[in-house]
Amino acid sequence: MHGQTSTTNKIFASHLRKTMTDAERKLWRHLRGEQLGAKFRRQHPFQGYVLDFVCFERGLVIEVDGSQHADAAVKDAVRTDVLERAGFRVLRFWNNEVLTQTDAVLACIAKALNPSPS
């Protein structure tokens, strides 16, 4: 599942880690250190994209979208398709969801990390 990463994407990802949004910082406080039982990376470059949060072990990508994504539905759909074809499940949350409904967002992530057997 590891994609080839250019030096440019690595530099950009490093910049994004240093300038995370309030919502990304809040979610990271709950994801870091395997608090949900899985290791996440933040602002990780993958196949030309920088993923907000990714758990390679469980094949889960979490994207936290701000208002700039309201007009980017087509680009986001293409990105999601690329990631799903690479074997990931993708969860998307709006910034305001993360900031105001944190427990519900974490419950959704926990469920995706530990799906109930069918």
pLDDT mean values, one per 10 residues, the chain (118 residues): 54 59 93 95 90 96 79 84 96 96 97 84
| Angle between the N-to-C axes of helices 102-113 and 22-31, in degrees from 0 to 180, rounded to the nearest 10 | 50
pLDDT of res. 74? 85
The CATH number of 7-113 is which of 3.40.960.10, 3.30.1330.10, 2.130.10.10, 2.40.50.840?
Answer: 3.40.960.10
- Residue spans of the domains in the chain: they are 7-113
Of 79, 17, 72, 21, the closest CA to residue 48 belongs to 79
Identity at 72, one-letter amino acid code: A
pLDDT of res. 116? 75
Joined together, the tokens standing for residue 13 give: 């990802």
pLDDT of res. 1? 43
Cα 60 to chain centroid distance, Å, stands at 8
Question: pTM for this structure?
Answer: 0.82
